[in-house]
Amino acid sequence: MIVLGIESSCDETSAAIVEGDASQATLRSCVILSQDVHRVFGGVVPEIASRAHLASLVPVTQRALADAALTLDDIDAIAVTHAPGLVGALLVGVSFANGLALAHNRPVLGVHHLEGHLFATTLEQADAEPPFTALLVSGGHTLLLDVAAWGEYRLLGSTRDDAAGEAFDKAAKLLGLGYPGGRALEALAATAAPHPLAFSPPMLHGGQRAGDADYLDVSFSGLKTAVLREVRAREADGTIDVMRAPIAAAFQSALIETLVAKTLRAAALHHRTRIVLGGGVACNQALQGAMRRAGASRGITVFAPSPRFATDNAAMIARAGLFRLARGERSTHALSAFASLPLPGLVE
Ligand code: KG4
Ligand code: ZN
């Protein structure tokens, strides 16, 4: 089965083609167009994102078809992100997919964006298969899931305020870095010489026990406030220029300590020997390194997607869609878009 995937939930316009069945898939092509326009405004402007998707979807899809040496007639089904995300941006992708499906008499399926992120790593690493513990850390979401099988997800923990990527972006902004700031903050932190400055890892202390509400949840707003206070104090005493890198390093290390500790707790609770990372923050090499070291000492293998598939892309949507389409799932051609929607296949 050959599936065309479409992704337009935020500021990446993407189309990709995968071929396979419910259990395996080969990526035939993937085209991702990032809307750099949002850097000018310091964040994603929803209306501008929708208009940019509208202008880009046709050429991006044509390029994905050409790269795979296929035409629309070769496509068996269309998978499109229908939730969660910016509803106007999603609607552009969903309307386009509905139109293509109707015109070519092909089935269409709405895919949950976060299920896409769960599948992203398998595009490149065949062993990133369930059962595993998943940590999804993006600009919009921070989730800890137990994945017993594809389509069978248990939500273990989430953020109580900012997403991990949002925390990176806000800290980066306080440090005078551009948007989105995660990558720049990581680069700045890497330049820091050893420094005594440290922030407490948020929502993490030894007294927490399995079953406690805060055992697996995370929260980053307190850490962001700590960064804000430190920046203001260093601006006041005139040392901000030399303190930016140590502040970035202290922020990143506190956030990572919490993410690693909570992910390992989740893996231990469900006796998993694999951890799969996903979402834009999974690009962070310090996070990957810390997770790998902590996992190795407990016999756990850590899988992380390459940056191309960690951030938003249609390959992961086509891959997740293929899994569900191959099981016979279909949406109607009146498929709609939703700003939020529970992950399909959630179990208690
Ligand atoms: O998954 P993604 O492309 O979009 C969403 O679905 O939100 O994630 C984007 C987020 C941004 O917040 C960005 O700052 C963050 O991922 N990010 C990083 C790194 N690269 C991207 N955060 C930390 N370190 C990085 N290297
Ligand atoms: Zn995403």
Q: How confident is the model at residue 333 (pLDDT cuts 50, 70, 90)?
A: confident
pLDDT, average across residues 20-48: 87
CA atoms within 13 A on the CB side of 260: 24
pLDDT, average across residues 211-240: 97
Confidence at residue 45, expressed as pLDDT on a 0 to 100 scale: 86
pLDDT tens digits for range 231-290: 999 999 999 999 999 999 999 999 999 999 999 999 999 999 999 999 999 999 999 999
Q: How confident is the model at residue 207 (pLDDT cuts 50, 70, 90)?
A: very high
- In this structure, the residue with its CA closest to atom 16 of ligand 1 is 280
**281 Cα to the center of ligand 2, angstroms:** 10
Q: In this prediction, what percent of the chain has a pLDDT beyond 90?
A: 91
Residues 298, 292 contacting (CB under 8 angstroms): no
d(CA 190, CA 104): 51
Residues 299, 272 contacting (CB under 8 angstroms): no
pLDDT tens digits for range 163-191: 999 999 999 999 999 888 999 999 999 99
pLDDT tens digits for range 277-329: 999 999 999 999 999 999 999 999 999 999 999 999 999 999 999 999 999 99
**286 Cα to the center of ligand 1, angstroms:** 14
Q: Which residue has the tokens 């248990």?
A: 154
Residue ranges around ligand 1 (CB below 6 Å): 10, 138-140, 165, 168-169, 180-183, 186, 279-281, 283-284, 311-312
**157 Cα to the center of ligand 1, angstroms:** 19
pLDDT, average across residues 130-140: 96
Ligand 1 binding pocket mutation candidate from 8, 138, 143 (most atoms within 8 A of CB): 138
Cα-based torsion angle of the residue sequence 185, 190, 194, 197 in order, rounded to the nearest 10 degrees:
10
pLDDT, average across residues 10-34: 94
d(CA 333, CA 102): 7
DSSP 296-329: HTTT-EEE---HHHHSS-HHHHHHHHHHHHHTT-
Q: How confident is the model at residue 36 (pLDDT cuts 50, 70, 90)?
A: confident
d(CA 115, CA 102): 25
Query: What CA–CA distances, in Å, run from 267 to 64, 132, 146, 235?
Result: 37, 8, 8, 42
What is the overall mean pLDDT for the chain?
A: 96
